[in-house]
Structure 1
Amino acid sequence: MRLFRRIQFLVTSVLLLGLHPALTADVPLIGRSLPGASLLDGDFEEVRAGWRQPKQSPYWKTEIVKGQGKVGCALGNLMNNGASVATAESVVLDHPALQQLTAGDVLAWRFSSSTEYPSDGRVSFSFVFGDQERVLTSRVKVPNGPDMPKNYEGFYTLTAEDIREGLPKAKFTLESTHGIIVYVHWVDVCLLRDATSGPKVLGVNAVDAGLEITWTGQPAATYDIFRSEQERRGFQKIASEIQGQRFVDQSIVNGKPYYYAVKRIGERMASSAVVRGLKLDSRAPSAPLAVQAVGQDWVVQLHWQKPDTDVAYYKVHRSDADGENMTCIAPKVTSESFEDMLPLKGRQNSYRVQAVDYSGNAGALSARVSAQVNAVRGASFSDLLLPMPIHEELRADLWGAEGVLPRDPDNGIESHDWSYWGGKIVQDPSDGLYHLCVVRWPEGDRKGHWAWPYSTVAYTVAEKPTGPFKVIKELAYDFHNGLGHNANIIPLNDGRFALYSLINWKAMILTADSMSGPWEVLGEMQVNVPENYTHAYRLERNLSGVHCEDGSFLFVTKAGAMMRSTQGILGPYDVVSGVTGENETIPERYRRSNYEDPTMWYDGVQYHMMINAFLEYRAIYLRSPDGIHWKYEDGLAYTPNCTEYTDGTRTFWYKVERPNVLQDAYGRATHLSLAAVDVPKADDYGNDRHSSKHLVIPLVVTKRIELLNDAPVTAVTKRIRALIRSEEGFDAQQDLDLDSLRYGANEAVNFGRGCPVVKTEVHADGLIVEFDGSRSELTEANFVGKLIGRTKTDELVVGYSKL
């Protein structure tokens, strides 16, 4: 999406200077035909193909001359898709006006072009008359992303030979290096006719009443005024039959750019060039009106009324019930509603909303409103996220967008020279250090973030689980020159390690006695792909696995489908479940998400999974008794706004992906690691101020609980006896707030219900707690019981036990 912001910036910075005289023509042939739609798909929008998946326009014939790729139109651009040389030729320009062409007639042409990333991208533009090609621009070097696209324009005078050859076509030749995409964003071709040419707009100026458009033209003529909020489309008539050469648009919104064209009334009259106008003000908007907050099960819905017409976006602030400790939780909300996906549970959340207008003025805060969700603290995995410790200091002299500064560069791993991504942290009991095989690629690569297909895996070590991780080996393994993506570690039952890595688009497994290597290539994973299985590639990518107690291997695949092998880690694997989006325990509002990047682990009680909804910028958490049948846990696992430091400073990452957990000796998750990027991936160019890092968030560690009942606990069990084990930093006999404890079905305890404590008994390993089993709400759908409570110092207590 960076590409389109670049185009927008181009027109706002260039059109302000004045006119494009080549457009004062009365017969448009290709492209802009104000106020109508683009002719012959000159804006390349006839087909709306997806990114990097171009399709063929009915008005343009494309061909690859050299190299590989799929040439065509996508997202409003003509593109070579990385082919070394490609051509695009329009249909014949058989406009009726061309039937009377004579030698000496003039065609005006203009187009805009750039490359996606730095390369020697070149564009040639021609008119083709029969077998004769008239080259108008020859291999002009176009700007490289992230630089702004450039407009090229000129005139061509028809010859007698051209007329004899017949009506022309327009032709582009796109040349590229390094597999980089060359774009043509739009093209206009016009036949000049002075008699009916459009008026010449002198300018657009801000006046007290709005924006004043002035032009030159015939004194007795009348004019129509057209306006749009986009430079090339969406023009609507806002005034008609205007006499004179002046019009004031009084219906503008200050701070918003507008584009204007003036057209003389009359048959086949051309419009003027498009000009841009903008009026800024210094008056701050009023505070948002009628703010309402409604607490639901685990989210808070906020709604308000727009206070002024020129409001561009809002900032949402959250504080304690009494209004203290206010912090911004959403810096740019563009509608009059907001969903707080991670409110504090078990207490009132207070909110105030602030409007910011298009001129950049920030208004006063709204009145404070409060709401509380139904779920209690501990219901959701997100409640386990703790503030990140600050190793030395928070710094602002780092790469990154405003929302991720200041931050701690010693958390996880980051660098000015490398873009880091995902990996699983493992603690080695022999040295007590924390080891991470992490994916990375050069930050200065010409393709920016999209150099990830050529990423390598580095071996790093830290003394603390939160970092800083230091590179010990530039390449964790030598195979295939160390290339690999989405690397993940599978601890093996014999104490060794397996490493999954996507190498040359193959699911490869390497093994080693220790995280430091050396890593031996075991081979490629094999999958028995079911007949007619759609998206079979997902079974090889983004894998996370567990070596089960029975010796089998379970892997969760890219979209959440499970596969199992009983014949070793290389398989063959059988697909044993559907994808996450088919899981009916997930609420419908979350089930329709696009899921990828799962992580799975086992802690001796149950299997756990987190999986990322990459289009909705959130993740969910599920549990399973067998690693195949998964049950959704209420709420969310994390969002990009979940990162907070111990001093209260928050960061707002554009996106967080590739979740993984550090496990302790019992298999419990102690830390969550995430790959974080500060801007949309397409906006992360090489050698810029944007990048990605691997960050680590401490977690509330679940308590070790063992049921002591002689028979399995069910809905009819009257008394439930549970041993809550003490451990380092936690004394079950002294620390627990017994009145706060509830045990039972997660559907009950997540919302404050469940079994209260009846009595306790001191045990050598902790505390035996007896619960009133009549209030457990357990059903056959529950394979574990859940404990929620707090300590006497208000620290969260969460745990699960087999029934």
Structure 2
Amino acid sequence: MKTHWISFGIVCAAMAQADAKNLMDYFQPMEPQGPLVSEGIFGTPEVFPRDSLNGLEDSNVENWVYWDGRIVKDDAGKYHLYASRWDQKYSHSQGWHEGSKAVHSVSDNVMGPYKDTGLAWPHWQEGKGHNVIGLRMHDGRYAMVCSGITYGEVFTSDNPDGPWELLGKIQVDENGFSRNLALLGLGEGERERLSNVSLILRPDGRYMIVPRSTCTMISDNGILGPYKIMHDRVYRKYPDLPQSKNEDPTVWYSGGMYHIVYNNWPSKTAYHFTSADGINDWTYRGVAFKKDAMPFRYTDGTVNDWSFIERPMAFVEDGHVTHFTFSVIDVKKGKDKGGDKHGSKILVVPFDGEAFDRDMEKLVADEME
């Protein structure tokens, strides 16, 4: 009976929002940065023709494949995409945990193409890094964060191009919660290793992390923390949503509220939650995007159908999300072999953040009446 009423409540909530748009409805067609091509680049027929100048890629997979990534704009108007890469000799499953290294890339255009300028910290563990993101800190300096195969390290620089120096490792205060797999998404025997860290600056001057678990963590004492765990997983009170195998969160603040989007990888579906303060009352807002319903469309109508769409990251400018980056691969990960003509890249997709925030504000206001 309890399950019945929970399910009925979810249905009623969905019906109440039937006229509301989902986040996916605000993605916009991509303006090609060059001709759409099918020859001389990696990929399956499903991703042809495509713009090899969008985002960050090694078109011929002669050297690298790319993953992760978040865009940061500098004061001169250039765009920096901090990401991870590994040698194309690895398969995907080998590369991300055996050969992944942190890199810096730069472009004059938010859409790309981004030029890989090399390893961010070759002097530290030969550049090792994964789950790589970038951001500006409250003091204006630049920061890069890596996790997953390392322990949640933060590197900083006065210059967006580097050089990067290790500031330290993110510290976590359990704050009354049990530091376990359910809360942090840690691996067995790796109790201190964070994974899929997404980190933003809050308007109140604090730092906020959402790791794989989607449990918000907040620091009052700078970027290294300690970060206090503020709540359980945002989806726990929604039992009809998948309760396991969730990952790849992105978090941002826009339109007067905090947003989390995360992936459920078996279903290739991402979910959207909001909160007024980023701590309490995280509310499910529907499917953020779904692979089968998420064609990447160009302004001329051409569509690319990538096999996997993961690691979403929001780029906020002037208070609104203007673009998302995605890590995409043209075949199932298990079919990507070292040295073949398959690979992954970082794709940049425009997003109508002004309309999205306007509609979300109206939705929340209507709920409060």
Q: Which amino acid aligns with 1:601?
A: W
2:52 aligns with one of 398, 409, 412: 409
Deviation, 1:523, is 0.6
Q: Select which of 560, 572, 581 maps to 2:226.
A: 572
Query: Measured at CA, do residues 521 and 743 of structure 1 come closer, stay the same or move farther in structure 2, by a change above 3 Å?
Result: closer
> Is the aligned partner of 1:645 residue 2:234?
no
Match of 1:778? Answer: 367
Q: Deviations over 1:67-88 (max 9, x none)?
A: xxxxxxxxxxxxxxxxxxxxxx
Distance 2:168 2:110 in 1: 31
* C-alpha distance in structure 1 between counterparts of 2:26 and 2:360, whole Å: 17
Aligned counterparts of 2:257 and 2:361: Cα–Cα separation in 1: 17
Aligned match for 2:363, one of 745, 748, 754: 745
Is 1:622 the counterpart of 2:273? The answer is yes
- More displaced stretch, 416-425 vs 523-532: 523-532
Are 2:22 and 2:287, in contact at CA under 8 Å, matched by a contact in 1?
yes
Q: Is the contact between residue 610 and residue 637 of structure 1 (CA under 8 Å) also seen in structure 2?
A: no
1:602 aligns with one of 253, 257, 261: 253
Corresponding residue for residue 134 of structure 2: 489
Deviation of 1:426 after TM superposition, in Å, equals 1.2
CA distance in 2 between partners of 1:683 and 1:703 (Å): 39
Select the residue among 390, 403, 408 that pairs with 2:32. 390
Structure 2: state its 5+ residue gaps: 1-10, 187-192
CA drift of 1:578 comes to: 0.9
Residue in structure 1 matched with residue 103 of structure 2 by the alignment = 458
Counterpart of 1:399 (choices 42, 46, 62) is: 42
CA distance in 2: counterparts of 1:506 and 1:297, whole angstroms: 42
The answer to which structure has the higher helix fraction is 2
Q: How far is 1:375 from its partner?
A: 3.8
CA RMSD of aligned residues (A): 2.8
From the superposition, tell whether residues 662 and 567 of structure 1 become closer, same or farther in structure 2 (CA, over 3 Å): same
Deviation string, structure 1 residues 339-378 (Cα, Å, up to 9, x no partner): xxxxxxxxxxxxxxxxxxxxxxxxxxxxxxxxxxx844x6
How many residues end up aligned between the 2 structures? 341
Residue 119 (structure 2) aligned to one of 475, 478, 499: 475
Under a length normalisation based on structure 2, what TM-score does the superposition of the two structures give?
0.84
Mapped partners of 2:356, 2:159: distance in 1: 28
Residue ranges of structure 1 left out of the alignment (5+ in a row):
1-295, 300-373, 706-723, 725-740, 747-775, 781-803
Equivalent AA in structure 2 for residue 779 of structure 1: M
Counterpart mapping for 1:24-423 below 5 A: 375-376=18-19, 379-397=21-39, 398-415=41-58, 416=61, 417-423=63-69
Q: Is the 8 A contact 1:424 1:661 kept in 2?
A: yes
8 Å contact 1:622–1:633 — kept in the other structure?
Answer: yes
Secondary structure of the residue that 1:423 maps to in structure 2?
strand
Could you tell me which of 330, 340, 345 is aligned with 1:688?
A: 340
| 1:778 aligned partner, one-letter code | E
Indicate the residue corresponding to 1:738 in structure 2. Answer: none
- 1:650 positional shift: 1.3
Match of 1:611 in 2: 262
Offset, 1:533: 3.7
1:698 alignment partner, one of 350, 353, 356: 350
Measure the CA separation in 2 of the matches of 1:777 and 1:552. Answer: 30
SS in 1 for 2:250: strand
Instruction: Name the amino acid aligned to 2:142.
Output: F
Q: Which SS does the other structure have where 1:745 is aligned?
A: helix
Q: CA deviation at 1:486?
A: 0.6
Runs of 4+ in 1 over 4 A off after TM superposition: 296-299
Contact 1:544 1:599 in 2 (8 A): yes
Give the share of equivalent positions with the same residue, in percent: 31
Structure with higher RCO (Cα < 8 A, 6+ apart): 2
Mapped partners of 1:664, 1:425: distance in 2: 10
Please state how far the C-alpha of 1:534 moved relative to its aligned partner.
2.8
- 1:380 maps to a residue whose letter is N
How far 1:704 sits from its partner (Å)?
A: 10
